[in-house]
Amino acid sequence: MDQRLQGKVALITGGASGIGLACAKRFAREGAAVIGFDLQSAEHWQAAEEITEHQLFINGDVMDLEAQEAAVAQAVDRFGQLDIIVTAAGIGDAGPVHMLDQTAWQRVIDINLTGTFLSIKAALKPMMEQRSGSIITIASIEGQLASEGGSSYNASKAAVVNLTRNVAMDYAQLGIRANAICPGFIETPMFNSVMEHMPDLKESVRKQHKMMRFGQPEEMAGIAYFLASSDASFVTGQAIAGDGGYTCGPSHGIVEMMGLT
């Protein structure tokens, strides 16, 4: 590792597991001071060999602006700055509109969209003062393409993409970049909990990825690392799909007919 994030400070919501934890590990290996923020326990965070005593984990709810502002303040007090935020906190609940009650709808919108808004809001204060920063939101390919039965989740992630674009536009002249990562179906605890009782559906979804496999959290962390690094210094307002070709278009078996497998 060439540690291109040496001297940088990153706050990662949803940092206890899945994509958030993978980002924390990658950023730590690349030299960053990392602050995890999550409602879950720090068990997996503390067990990760990449996480050292120089890193910090804070229990908190992304729906609590004061808690997020306190986490940002703690990061700045301890490390002197905040350079990167990754908003990986989210939930995957959904359903068709006629079966979805307002409470369930609101919970998804609150955590996935409003939680992201509050994370960005909290992080912007030090970033505006230092006139630099990289904001990385975790959206979804389901924020770019609809999926059956995914009304609330899809709506929340589509809104995250456009919120990210707006942030990119509004703060570009202050040296702050904002980009969204749109993962395909990634083998995270949340994904596995949804799919474990639906093997036929899982196989069908796998085949929609042109690479014929699901993604790994570490692969999304690689995209986040690029967006956090100076290599992405001219990249802002983008929604980058890490989806194994899912969004290329539909498949009809022609690749197999041509012997390209």
Q: Is residue 260 part of a domain?
A: no
pLDDT above 70 (res 247): yes
Count: domains in the chain: 1
Confidence (pLDDT) at 252: 83
CA trace torsion 139, 145, 150, 154 (10° rounding): 40
Confidence (pLDDT) at 1: 58
pLDDT above 80 (res 2): no
Confidence (pLDDT) at 221: 98
Give pLDDT tens digits for 163-199.
Answer: 999 999 999 999 999 999 999 999 988 888 888 888 8
Confidence (pLDDT) at 249: 87
The whole-chain average pLDDT of the chain stands at 94
Q: For residue 168, what is the domain's CATH number?
A: 3.40.50.720
pLDDT above 90 (res 253): no
225 noted as active-site residue: no
Q: For residue 239, what pLDDT band results from cuts at 50, 70 and 90?
A: very high
Give pLDDT tens digits for 77-99.
Answer: 999 999 999 999 999 888 899 99
The residue with greater pLDDT, 43 or 139, is 139
Contact 162, 237 (CB under 8 A): no
Q: Is residue 209 part of a domain?
A: no
Confidence (pLDDT) at 138: 98
| Domain range for 223 | 9-188+215-244
Beta strands in 139-238 (DSSP E): 176-183
Q: Is residue 37 part of a domain?
A: yes
pTM of the model: 0.95
Q: Is residue 121 part of a domain?
A: yes
Q: Is residue 205 part of a domain?
A: no
Phi and psi at 114, nearest 5°, equal -65, -40
Beta strands in the chain (DSSP E): 9-13, 33-38, 56-59, 84-87, 133-138, 176-183, 239-242
Q: Is residue 2 part of a domain?
A: no
Q: Is residue 252 part of a domain?
A: no
From residue 79, alpha-carbon distances to 67, 104, 114, 241, 244 in Å are 18, 38, 27, 32, 37
pLDDT above 80 (res 231): yes
Among 17-21, 222-226, 237-241, 256-260, which is the least confidently predicted range?
256-260
Q: Is residue 259 part of a domain?
A: no
Q: For residue 261, what pLDDT band results from cuts at 50, 70 and 90?
A: confident
Give pLDDT tens digits for 18-75.
Answer: 999 999 999 999 999 999 999 999 898 888 989 887 799 999 999 999 999 999 999 9
